[in-house]
Chain A
Amino acid sequence: MTRKAISQRLRTIDIVNASMRRRNAAEKRFQIYGKLAIAAAMLFLIFMFGNIIYKGHTAFVQAFVALDISFDAQVLGLGDRRDKKSLASADYAALVKAALRQQFPDVTKRKAKRKLYKLVSSGASYQLADMVKNNPDLIGTQARVWVPADDEIDMLLKGYIDRKLPESERRLSDQQISWVETLEAKELIETRFNFNFFTHGDSRDAELAGILAALSGSFLTLLVTLTLAFPIAVATAIYLEEFAPKNKWTDIIEVNINNLAAVPSIVFGLLGLALFINWFQFPRSAPLVGGLVLTLMTLPTIIISSRAALKTVPNAIRQAALGIGASKVQMIRHHVLPLALPGMLTGTIIGMAQALGETAPLLMIGMVAFIVDVPTSIVDPSTVLPVQIFLWADSPERAFVEKTSGAIMVLLAFLIAMNAMAVAVRKKLERRW
């Protein structure tokens, strides 16, 4: 070995050693950047969830007032009639008013009385009506009934209204607050779990508004989307990946699928409006149409990920199956599909999560409606969770702020439940050998 060669070798190791500190520093720096990025993301996430939960947790409780109701046939205006029609049209509000007057006998002025009646929700009389309709024998008896308080009272009890503010600067008068304090002293008013929120549809009165109609609408819409999008997308992916010849036409199809995935969702809404509602005359605001529109929107996502999943199946498996004399369909059904299915499901769940959070295209097909009745079929008028959140966020009443956050929590819970289910199914299908 010549001197030059030896000196060169020494130089290589010297150069490497000299550069090591720089290389290690670069590596450490990169790791720190990564950790910082994750920390920032976590911080935002915690802030977001914290904010939503802080604002929304009170939506799950509600102030209730105890009323000593005497189901008096005279007050109800029934006389001796007990038939269904009369029971339905009886004056249940009068019962509520009577109970309140009885509770506060010193309130005599008209104006004061009207304020007094506003302590409880207008839903109280519907609650009494339901009770009597289910059990007409109640008439003539007395009972203590807990009815929802008005949303302003609810806000007061939850501490959103400052009792120390001057009277002119708050929505409740001193008199109303003193009534509430009297009720508090007698333990006739308290906050309870708000079952209403999960069992009712939307309402103009915040204390009566519930999430069930939107939840049910979202569920039905997603059901339509899933039953249409998954089979169509999987069939498309399998055909394009396993059967279709590679030529100009399949290239055009592929480019178009990729482009569709990037089309703004509102465009799909316009398409749905023109196609399904104006041309096919499907019912407006229905989960059927919503599901169809969201199917169009999620198809490209599921097709692309299903094709990616099919591509990951080793060709050796395909050759092995064909080499035995399997037909292509047998090869796909028995070997390719089982291996690709977990990946396809991942794509499907991403598409479905996207569909669950989608608002814009549904506005175009009328799912932005005010829905009180819980939809039970895919042709009933309904709304969906994100639209409901949008509607509530738009409402001026203070009480709808917490409803908005509460609905967001329900939406997130729905999403997490859906993802958890998909993960469970995928775990079950996944082969680890």
Chain B
Amino acid sequence: MLMNDMTPDNSLARESGVTASAAASTGPMRISREHHETVGDYTVADPRITCRNVDVYYGDKRAIHAVNLDIGRNEVVAMIGPSGCGKSTFLRCLNRMNDTIESCRVTGEIELDGQDIYDKKIDVVPLRSQVGMVFQKPNPFPKSIYENVAWGPRIHGLAQNKADLNEIVETSLQKAGLWSEVKDRLEKPGTGLSGGQQQRLCIARTIAVSPEVILMDEPCSALDPIATAKIEDLIDELRQQYSIAIVTHSMQQAARVSQRTAYFHMGDLIEVGETATIFTNPVHPLTEDYITGRFG
């Protein structure tokens, strides 16, 4: 029912990958269909989320292949890679948004603070209140700006009274850098804001429920450079409090906002490491091809 467009057609992605690289005849042909072992150290000293051997299937098709990755405290992990490489799919495993796709099946272990989030006893509602998500397209509710931010705290019962709620709304909007722009029109519809403001409203909405981890799925792909710069500054500030995993198509963005970068390729996590290292001195040839623009 949900997100049909999110389901990557793996075979198609592979074929287009082949033609794309065949056309770019300057680069060496390195497209193969076997599984690649991850290069680099995927662990961190103080992990928030640990993923081990994560496989994701859409029906019979394997979209993600044995991914191991940790997300640490107060760090931004960027996930880059060509379209259909599974980075969004992987991100959506982290708060079990993939549950809403019927054919989707996740195996392996994903732990949040040592707790397996795919355990049968785990309820997705509290999980998602801990692991918030910002989507590619700004999707404010068709309600007032105030209601957009206040709804999350209200359904979780985070505010004792109206004053509490006002406070949460104000601080969330302030953290999202939107307060000064909307404080006089909180009753106006959230959908009436500009694209960049809407995306910051969505971020405010996410942090209003005080999550531990924020997942961002290409949050700037629909925005202009000025709005993008604002969001990137915001991500950098949010890092002080939250762990952030961000999927992006822009390598510059990954370089600007993240501490660690993970390169995905056709369902495999090819390489992971310090952002600076990945972009200046990639180990795996596929990574090198991608960041130098020869592929992807």
Asked whether, in the complex, the Cβ of B128 is within 8 Å of the Cβ of A325, the reply is yes
Check: B3 CB closer than 8 A to any chain A CB.
yes
Within 8 Å CB of A320, what residues of B? 135, 139-141, 202, 205
| Residue of A242, A314, A315, A323 with most partner-chain B CB within 10 A | A323
Asked whether, in the complex, the Cβ of A324 is within 8 Å of the Cβ of B206, the reply is yes
Asked whether, in the complex, the Cβ of B95 is within 8 Å of the Cβ of A315, the reply is no
Give Cα distance in the complex from A317 to B140, angstroms.
Answer: 7
Check: B23 CB closer than 8 A to any chain A CB.
no
Check: A319 CB closer than 8 A to any chain B CB.
yes
Give Cα distance in the complex from A314 to B142, angstroms.
Answer: 11
Contact of A339 among B2, B100, B142 (CB under 8 A): B142
Known: A241-B1, A246-B1, A319-B135. A326 touches B141 (CB 8 A): no
Q: List 14 A-B contacts (CB under 8 A).
A: A242-B1, A315-B2, A317-B142, A320-B140, A321-B141, A322-B97, A323-B134, A324-B151, A325-B128, A325-B130, A325-B132, A326-B125, A433-B142, A433-B189
> How far does the Cβ of A38 sit from chain B's closest Cβ, in whole Å?
35
Check: A334 CB closer than 8 A to any chain B CB.
yes
Within 8 Å CB of B130, what residues of A? 325
Contact with B along A314-344 (1 / 0, CB 8 A): 1111111111111100100011000100000
Check: B191 CB closer than 8 A to any chain A CB.
yes
Contact of A433 among B97, B102, B129, B192 (CB under 8 A): B192
Check: A245 CB closer than 8 A to any chain B CB.
yes
Contact with A along B268-296 (1 / 0, CB 8 A): 00000000000000000000000000000
Interface residues of A (CB under 8 A from B): 241-242, 245-246, 314-327, 330, 334-335, 339, 431, 433
Asked whether, in the complex, the Cβ of B152 is within 8 Å of the Cβ of A324, the reply is yes
Check: B14 CB closer than 8 A to any chain A CB.
no
Known: A241-B1, A433-B142. A323 touches B135 (CB 8 A): yes
Asked whether, in the complex, the Cβ of A319 is within 8 Å of the Cβ of B97, the reply is yes
Within 8 Å CB of A322, what residues of B? 97, 100, 128
Within 8 Å CB of B155, what residues of A? 324-326, 330, 334
Give Cα distance in the complex from A316 to B124, angstroms.
Answer: 18
Contact with A along B93-126 (1 / 0, CB 8 A): 0010100101000000000000000000000111
Within 8 Å CB of B152, what residues of A? 324-326
> How far does the Cβ of A320 sit from chain B's closest Cβ, in whole Å?
4
Within 8 Å CB of A318, what residues of B? 2, 100
Within 8 Å CB of A325, what residues of B? 124-130, 132, 152, 155-156, 209
Check: B49 CB closer than 8 A to any chain A CB.
no
Give Cα distance in the complex from A314 to B134, angstroms.
Answer: 16
> How far does the Cβ of A139 sit from chain B's closest Cβ, in whole Å?
71
> How far does the Cβ of B147 sit from chain A's closest Cβ, in whole Å?
9
Within 8 Å CB of B156, what residues of A? 325
Asked whether, in the complex, the Cβ of B132 is within 8 Å of the Cβ of A324, the reply is yes
> How far does the Cβ of B135 sit from chain A's closest Cβ, in whole Å?
6
Check: B133 CB closer than 8 A to any chain A CB.
yes
Asked whether, in the complex, the Cβ of B3 is within 8 Å of the Cβ of A319, the reply is yes
> How far does the Cβ of B125 sit from chain A's closest Cβ, in whole Å?
5
Within 8 Å CB of A314, what residues of B? 139
Return the chain B residue nearest A324 by Cβ. B152
Asked whether, in the complex, the Cβ of A319 is within 8 Å of the Cβ of B95, the reply is no
Check: B137 CB closer than 8 A to any chain A CB.
yes
Give 15 A-B pairs besides A325-B124, A339-B142, A433-B192 with Cβ atoms closer than 8 angstroms. A241-B1, A245-B102, A316-B139, A319-B133, A321-B141, A323-B97, A323-B128, A324-B132, A324-B151, A324-B205, A325-B127, A325-B129, A325-B130, A325-B132, A326-B125
Return the chain B residue nearest A241 by Cβ. B1
Within 8 Å CB of B102, what residues of A? 245-246
Within 8 Å CB of A242, what residues of B? 1
Return the chain B residue nearest A318 by Cβ. B2
Contact of B125 among A245, A327, A335 (CB under 8 A): A327
Asked whether, in the complex, the Cβ of A335 is within 8 Å of the Cβ of B3, the reply is no
| Residue of B128, B156, B189 with most partner-chain A CB within 10 A | B128
Asked whether, in the complex, the Cβ of B206 is within 8 Å of the Cβ of A323, the reply is yes
Within 8 Å CB of B202, what residues of A? 320
Give Cα distance in the complex from A305 to B69, angstroms.
Answer: 46
Which 3 pairs across A and B sit closest by C-beta, in order of nearness?
A: A325-B129, A433-B189, A316-B139
Asked whether, in the complex, the Cβ of B151 is within 8 Å of the Cβ of A334, the reply is yes
Within 8 Å CB of A323, what residues of B? 95, 97, 128, 132-135, 206
Within 8 Å CB of B139, what residues of A? 314, 316-317, 319-320
> How far does the Cβ of B120 sit from chain A's closest Cβ, in whole Å?
18
Within 8 Å CB of B133, what residues of A? 319, 323
> How far does the Cβ of A308 sit from chain B's closest Cβ, in whole Å?
14
> How far does the Cβ of A343 sit from chain B's closest Cβ, in whole Å?
14
| Residue of A241, A245, A320 with most partner-chain B CB within 10 A | A320
> How far does the Cβ of A19 sit from chain B's closest Cβ, in whole Å?
37
B132-175: which residues lie under 8 A (CB-CB) from chain A? 132-135, 137, 139-142, 151-152, 155-156
> How far does the Cβ of B190 sit from chain A's closest Cβ, in whole Å?
8
Within 8 Å CB of B142, what residues of A? 317, 339, 431, 433
Within 8 Å CB of A334, what residues of B? 151, 155
Give Cα distance in the complex from A315 to B127, angstroms.
Answer: 20
Return the chain A residue nearest B202 by Cβ. A320
> How far does the Cβ of B132 sit from chain A's closest Cβ, in whole Å?
7
> How far does the Cβ of B151 sit from chain A's closest Cβ, in whole Å?
7
Within 8 Å CB of B134, what residues of A? 323
Within 8 Å CB of B3, what residues of A? 315, 319
